[in-house]
A and B are shown apart, each in its own frame.
Chain A
Amino acid sequence: MNWQNFLQLVLSGITIGSIYAFIGIGFNIIYNTTSIINFAQGEFVMLGGLILYSFHQSFHIPLIPAILLTLILVTLIGIGMERLTLHPVKNPTVLNMIIITIGCSIFLKGVALSIWGREVYHLPFFFPRPPFRIGGASITTQSLVVWVALIISSAFLYFFYRFTLLGKAMRACSVNPVAARLMGIKVKSLITLSFALAAFLGGLAGVTITPISLMDYQRGSLLALKGFAAAVLGGLGKEFGAILAGMALGITESLVAGYISSGYKDAVSLLILLFILFVRPGGIMGSKEEISLREL
């Protein structure tokens, strides 16, 4: 076993793990305000990649404005999805809401299929420079983009949840939604906000990963499954647990692909997910969530 090869695998594992982390955080943000898993989370990622492709490659909008437009559009799609489908439901149960998100996922995939077809799309690296080399391994500029995006978003989220009134209200709403209403907190608006945040992060994941992993209309689902594994492994509801867990999954996957066979790569997350769901449904860091998962 050679060291450089190992390092290379770990570095690519961190990059793909960052994407799982992004998606896992998205799951958690919505879970925290609604206690549901948003099955359309992967579609936000897919839309991020494909919309950016259209803006940048088809409409020739310069990269930075194209990225901004994409993120705005995906965020609006997230808000629209919540407002049009979940918001109007009176006294929804957790199961109702989950089924609605499954419907949204299928719908968004269908729309994407009709716009972009089955083709696989590719975007150039944001910074077309040769890879950096450390310790004999190489890091592409796009990997750095993914890492930096994750670091900035998590720092932003940390600040938001710890230090802003709105962020604290969102935490309050996840601890005790009825008491939150008693404080005059509009829980329904916070749910909309959580969809906006989750869609934004999903879109950002899609935008940054597409130059590395390519994108097509159905690629969101598999990414979402792995992001979900990260969210569960990190403890549902724990935004920052998902980051560590996403990294762990990404690295494991990358090592399995490198040393055993890339055919088993996708099985890793699934096996880990199944294992946790059997052994510790609350995730490695969770406890309270265990109960809510059993109630499902």
Chain B
Amino acid sequence: MLLEVKNLTAYRDSIPIVRSVSFHVNEGESVAILGANGAGKTTLIESIIGIISEKTGEVRFKGKDITRLNSEEIVKRGISLVPQGREIFSTLSVKDNLLLGAYTRFGRESMASIKETLEEVYGLFPILKEREKQLAGTLSGGEQQMLAIGRALMAKPTLLLLDEPSLGLAPQIRAKIFSSLEELHKKGITLLLVEQNTFYALRITERAYVMETGRLVMEGKSEEIAKDPEVIRAYLGREYREKWER
């Protein structure tokens, strides 16, 4: 098990938002957490990566307890997050955003290996290379999302967490983002994808959990969940059904 979460309860302003959640992600897997607005997905992700410190339970990564570590430490150990809303550094150039993604690697690794990762990111998203010198804030929404993903990849994570990477994007760009995630997964990165867009999320993952008001209410193979009309009716809603039937 690469990531193991046991009985995690996470609070915001002392209010428990995520309640006693347990789940795991195996090495090389691609896993989705699905859930409606306000289900607590972001809270769960942020408590895994250490942005939220008010929590009980246990988070283990590569067999080690990381529950009490701060996010700087956690990033160093190989987890990166593509946060909801992208959160790029808008007044810095695209290239500087990417280089800052490799912040923990400077001094520990050679400049050449960092440059190599940069080229890989440019290979995945060629548009970022074109816009290298531009200020990140001037990019379009889709380009900003690619930048946010590229920036997270610069840390060379073992586990990549993505919080609603398709939010607010046009359909073609959404497809492009998801196909690049598929490509990453094929290269061996373990993915934990939080999404409301269940249609795509189930297509690019192997397993999925469904979250409702702070709890994980079901788990299954993505393929099977996608075919199960009961589940879809109960948890995943109309948008999914329409797309699937089409």
Q: CA A165 – CA B154 in complex, angstroms?
A: 14
Query: A183 at the A/B interface (Cβ < 8 Å)?
Result: yes
Query: A118 at the A/B interface (Cβ < 8 Å)?
Result: no
Q: Determine whether the beta carbon of B103 is less than 8 Å from that of A176.
A: no
Contacts of B51 in A (CB 8 A): 178, 181-182
Interface string of A169-213 (1 = CB under 8 A from B): 101100110111111111000000000000000000000000000
Query: Interface size for chain B: under 10, 10 to 19, 20 to 34, or 35 or more residues?
Result: 20 to 34
Q: Determine whether the beta carbon of A172 is less than 8 Å from that of B92.
A: yes
Q: CA A175 – CA B104 in complex, angstroms?
A: 19
* Count, chain A residues at interface, CB 8 A: 16
Q: Determine whether the beta carbon of B155 is less than 8 Å from that of A179.
A: no
Query: Nearest residue in A to B73 (C-beta to C-beta)?
Result: A184
Q: Determine whether the beta carbon of A185 is less than 8 Å from that of B72.
A: yes
Q: Determine whether the beta carbon of A175 is less than 8 Å from that of B100.
A: no
Q: Determine whether the beta carbon of A182 is less than 8 Å from that of B92.
A: no
Contacts of A165 in B (CB 8 A): 99-100, 103, 106
Query: B159 at the A/B interface (Cβ < 8 Å)?
Result: no
Distance of B161 from chain A, by nearest CB (Å)? 10
Stretch from B83-91, B189-197, B207-215 that touches the partner: B83-91
Q: Determine whether the beta carbon of B89 is less than 8 Å from that of A176.
A: yes
Q: Determine whether the beta carbon of A183 is less than 8 Å from that of B91.
A: no
- Mark out the residues of chain B between 97 and 133 whose CB falls within 8 Å of any chain A CB in the assembled complex: 99-101, 103-104, 106
Distance of B92 from chain A, by nearest CB (Å)? 6
* Given known contacts A178-B87, A179-B87, A184 and B92 CB-to-CB distance under 8 angstroms: no
Q: Determine whether the beta carbon of B72 is less than 8 Å from that of A168.
A: no
Contacts of B152 in A (CB 8 A): 182
Contacts of B89 in A (CB 8 A): 171-172, 175-176, 179-180
Distance of B137 from chain A, by nearest CB (Å)? 9
Q: Is the interface of A mostly helix, strand, loop or mixed?
A: helix
Query: Nearest residue in A to B107 (C-beta to C-beta)?
Result: A165
Query: B75 at the A/B interface (Cβ < 8 Å)?
Result: yes
* Given known contacts A182-B81, A184-B76, A184-B155, A175 and B96 CB-to-CB distance under 8 angstroms: no
Query: Nearest residue in B to A186 (C-beta to C-beta)?
Result: B72
Contacts of B76 in A (CB 8 A): 184
Contacts of A183 in B (CB 8 A): 75, 100-101, 103-104, 151, 155
Query: B80 at the A/B interface (Cβ < 8 Å)?
Result: yes
Query: Nearest residue in B to A189 (C-beta to C-beta)?
Result: B72
Distance of B151 from chain A, by nearest CB (Å)? 7
Q: Determine whether the beta carbon of B96 is less than 8 Å from that of A179.
A: no
Interface string of B60-73 (1 = CB under 8 A from A): 00000000001110
Q: Determine whether the beta carbon of B91 is less than 8 Å from that of A182.
A: no
Q: CA A81 – CA B155 in complex, angstroms?
A: 33
Q: Determine whether the beta carbon of A176 is less than 8 Å from that of B87.
A: yes
Instruction: Indicate the member of A172, A176, A179 with the most B CB atoms within 10 Å.
Output: A179
Q: Determine whether the beta carbon of B104 is less than 8 Å from that of A184.
A: yes
Contacts of B104 in A (CB 8 A): 183-184
Query: B49 at the A/B interface (Cβ < 8 Å)?
Result: yes
Q: CA A178 – CA B99 in complex, angstroms?
A: 17
Q: Determine whether the beta carbon of A182 is less than 8 Å from that of B71.
A: yes
Contacts of A180 in B (CB 8 A): 89, 100
Q: Determine whether the beta carbon of A172 is less than 8 Å from that of B100.
A: yes
Distance of A266 from chain B, by nearest CB (Å)? 35
Q: CA A95 – CA B245 in complex, angstroms?
A: 54
Q: CA A61 – CA B104 in complex, angstroms?
A: 43
Query: Nearest residue in B to A168 (C-beta to C-beta)?
Result: B96
Contacts of A182 in B (CB 8 A): 49, 51, 71, 75, 80-81, 83, 87, 152
Query: Nearest residue in B to A171 (C-beta to C-beta)?
Result: B92
Interface string of A150-182 (1 = CB under 8 A from B): 000000000000000100110110011011111
Contacts of B155 in A (CB 8 A): 183-184
- Mark out the residues of chain B between 31 and 78 whose CB falls within 8 Å of any chain A CB in the assembled complex: 49, 51, 70-72, 75-76
Q: List 6 A-B contacts (CB under 8 A).
A: A169-B103, A175-B89, A176-B87, A179-B83, A182-B75, A184-B71
Chain B residues close to A by CB (< 8 Å)? 49, 51, 70-72, 75-76, 80-81, 83, 87-92, 96, 99-101, 103-104, 106, 151-152, 155
